[in-house]
């Protein structure tokens, strides 16, 4: 990539005025009643999401993120009855598979954010509700988070069940209200099935059975991957230059049969959400690594933040890279690829596999907006200006867009 390294991007260039009233506080009554902006051939039009199938080519593959949001917020009281809120981010052991972490019984250790941390002066705080007792104890404090030991009774319950019983949905902080009953179903896609996210892959929230049936009738192919969304996805960039921003790393899970299908089918790949796009684009670079070294380990396969701007792709085609990755998985007897990616997609990145994205409208000065700019270039400003001027709703519970490069 010959253009300016994205670490030198000034995040102020990706700012825009987002009035608070444009941020959706609640979802639409029906998921598919959201508005849909279509950007194709550098022109903009709009419709309703339930008609999205009419704007997708028959010759397409849609990639969905099937990760399921966990009820990651826990509300405790200290001895003085002051509120302390714990937000579970990820298992403390970063190499621990999320499914293993969620199936733990009796006790577990997690990295967390804590609201009202100064009020936590006790060694241990406890919730007792629904015949469950959950205790929390701080193990270590870091600059960005706190490490907490959880212990519970009945001890035969899994941590996943504990969160289901007493946790709250982690709706984003820019939605200025408390979690409500509606969030338990609506801050979750209808096809989610792999537990692990602490924030919803929101592009998928608009899909209903009716929309999926219309897509299937058109014989558009669909596949699922999972990227377990961390809270860092929505973290604004606070440094002036991107080189000062530490991109979050997240677990991905991809079936070998999807990789083979991408090789065999010459179709347009449309990612449902930024998470799906980051996974599919990561596959190209992981494939490039296996193309250059078929003895590479799973740990070295992980994509680091700036790595894709420093790897020499030698003009190796996507198919060659995907084939190398499939061969590597077969050699290592892997039906699923489970590893981490920290890929940061920003200008001047050129998409390797994906041809477009279905996505919501993102926060100013965010890595998600940088990703959109990598797809549509400076026209992101025109798209967002149109959305603001035409009463589109923004962020997680907001409206949708179909952006085709």
| Domain 72-168, second-level architecture | Beta Barrel (2.40)
Alpha-carbon span 106 to 93, nearest angstrom = 17
**Is there a contact between 138 and 46 (Cβ–Cβ < 8 Å)?**
no
How crowded is the C-beta side of 59, counted as CA atoms within 13 Å? 5
Q: Which two tokens stand for residue 95?
A: 């190499």
Question: How are the residues of the chain apportioned to helix, strand and coil, as percentages rounded to the nearest 5?
Answer: 35, 30, 40
Decide: helix, strand or coil at residue 227: strand
Burial group, residue 67, by CB count within 10 angstroms (0-12, 13-18, 19+): buried
Decide the pairing of beta strands 356-360 and 336-341.
Answer: unpaired
Q: With the C-alpha atoms ordered 233, 237, 242, 248, is the resulting torsion angle positive or negative?
A: negative
Q: How far is residue 47 CA from its own chain's centroid?
A: 25
Alpha-carbon span 253 to 226, nearest angstrom = 5
Domain ranges in the chain?
A: 6-68+188-404, 72-168
CATH match for 6-68+188-404 among 3.40.50.2000, 2.60.120.620, 1.10.287.3610, 3.40.1780.10: 3.40.1780.10
Burial group, residue 355, by CB count within 10 angstroms (0-12, 13-18, 19+): middle
Alpha-carbon span 300 to 289, nearest angstrom = 9
Per-residue pLDDT of the chain in tens (405 residues, 90 and over written 9)? 447 899 999 999 999 999 999 999 999 999 999 999 999 999 999 999 999 999 999 999 999 999 999 999 999 999 999 999 999 988 987 666 778 888 999 999 999 999 999 999 999 999 998 899 999 999 999 988 999 999 999 999 999 999 999 999 999 888 999 899 999 999 999 999 998 898 999 999 999 999 999 999 998 999 999 999 877 665 678 889 999 988 878 889 999 999 999 999 888 999 999 999 999 999 999 999 999 999 999 999 999 999 999 998 878 999 999 999 999 999 999 999 999 999 999 999 999 999 999 999 999 999 999 999 999 999 999 999 999 999 999 999 999 999 998
- Which residues, in sequence order, are bridge partners of residue 23? 394
Q: Which pTM does this prediction carry? A: 0.93
Q: How far is residue 295 CA from its own chain's centroid?
A: 30
The single residue listed with the structure tokens 């860092």 is 232
Q: With the C-alpha atoms ordered 238, 241, 244, 249, is the resulting torsion angle positive or negative?
A: positive
Other CB atoms within 10 Å distance of the CB of residue 41: 5
């Amino acid at each position: 990539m010959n253009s300016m390294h994205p670490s030198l991007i000034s995040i102020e260039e990706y700012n825009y005025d987002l009035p608070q009233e444009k941020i959706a506080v609640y979802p639409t009554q029906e998921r598919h009643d959201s508005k849909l902006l279509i950007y194709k051939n550098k022109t903009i039009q709009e419709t309703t999401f339930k008609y999205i199938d009419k704007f997708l080519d028959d010759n397409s593959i849609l990639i969905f993120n099937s990760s399921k949001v966990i009820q990651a917020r826990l509300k405790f009281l200290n001895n003085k009855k002051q509120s302390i809120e714990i937000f579970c981010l990820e298992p403390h052991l970063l190499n621990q598979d999320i499914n293993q972490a969620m199936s733990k019984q009796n006790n577990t250790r997690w990295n967390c954010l804590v609201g009202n941390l100064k009020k936590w002066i006790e060694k241990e705080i406890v919730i007792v509700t629904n015949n469950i007792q959950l205790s929390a104890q701080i193990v270590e404090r870091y600059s960005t988070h706190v490490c907490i030991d959880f212990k519970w009774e009945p001890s035969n319950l899994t941590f996943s069940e504990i969160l289901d019983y007493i946790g709250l949905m982690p709706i984003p902080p820019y939605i200025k209200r408390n979690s409500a009953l509606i969030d338990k179903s609506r801050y979750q896609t209808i096809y989610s099935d792999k537990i692990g996210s602490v924030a919803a892959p929101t592009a998928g929230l608009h899909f209903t059975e009716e929309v999926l049936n219309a897509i299937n009738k058109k014989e558009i192919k669909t596949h699922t991957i999972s990227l377990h969304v961390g809270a860092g996805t929505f973290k604004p960039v606070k440094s002036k230059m991107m080189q000062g921003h530490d991109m979050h790393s997240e677990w991905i899970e991809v079936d070998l049969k999807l990789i083979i299908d991408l090789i065999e089918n010459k179709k347009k790949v449309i990612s449902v959400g930024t998470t799906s796009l980051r996974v599919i684009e990561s596959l190209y670079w992981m494939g490039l690594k296996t193309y250059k070294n078929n003895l590479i380990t799973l740990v070295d396969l992980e994509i680091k933040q700036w790595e894709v701007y420093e790897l020499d792709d030698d003009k190796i085609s996507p198919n060659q890279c995907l084939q190398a990755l499939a061969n590597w998985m077969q050699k290592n007897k892997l039906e699923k690829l489970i590893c981490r990616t920290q890929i940061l997609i920003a200008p001047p990145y050129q998409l390797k596999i994906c041809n477009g994205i279905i996505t919501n409208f993102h926060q100013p000065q965010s890595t998600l907006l940088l990703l959109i700019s990598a797809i549509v270039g400076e026209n992101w400003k025109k798209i967002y200006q149109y959305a603001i001027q035409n009463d589109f709703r923004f962020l997680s519970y907001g409206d949708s867009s179909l952006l085709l490069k």
